[in-house]
């Protein structure tokens, strides 16, 4: 999954103000579609386009980024999504 993607931005968050975990925004080149045949093609089909994905570190398995969040067409959208969902301190 994300292992082959370039890490663009990293940050740290705290679950319940106690457990620290890392969040990464990575750059990809496939914007995954819904796959639902009832959706229009621009939503249903994968697109070969620069995009960004958010990955969060597992709270109990440090170094394991197994929680993914959506695809975004801009870095700004991805950053705003993370910042709206949690308090984050950006590292880079």
* pLDDT value of residue 15: 84
Query: What confidence tens digit (pLDDT) does each residue in 34-87 have?
Result: 899 999 998 999 999 999 999 999 988 988 999 888 889 999 999 999 999 888
Query: What confidence tens digit (pLDDT) does each residue in 1-45 have?
Result: 556 789 999 999 988 878 889 999 999 999 999 899 999 998 999
Nearest residue to 44 (alpha-carbon basis) of 35, 52, 53: 35
* pLDDT value of residue 5: 85
90: pLDDT strictly greater than 90: yes
Q: How many domains does the chain have?
A: 1
Bridge partner residues of 23 (DSSP): 11, 56
Domain of 80, in residue numbers: 2-90
């Amino acid at each position: 999954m994300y292992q082959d993607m370039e890490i663009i931005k990293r940050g740290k968050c705290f679950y319940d103000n106690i457990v620290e975990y890392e969040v990464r925004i990575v750059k990809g080149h496939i914007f995954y579609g819904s796959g639902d045949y009832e959706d229009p093609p621009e939503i249903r089909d994968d697109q070969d386009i620069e995009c960004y994905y958010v990955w969060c570190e597992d709270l109990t398995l440090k170094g394991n980024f197994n929680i993914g969040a959506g695809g975004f067409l801009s870095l700004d959208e991805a950053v705003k999504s993370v910042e709206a969902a949690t308090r984050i301190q950006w590292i880079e």
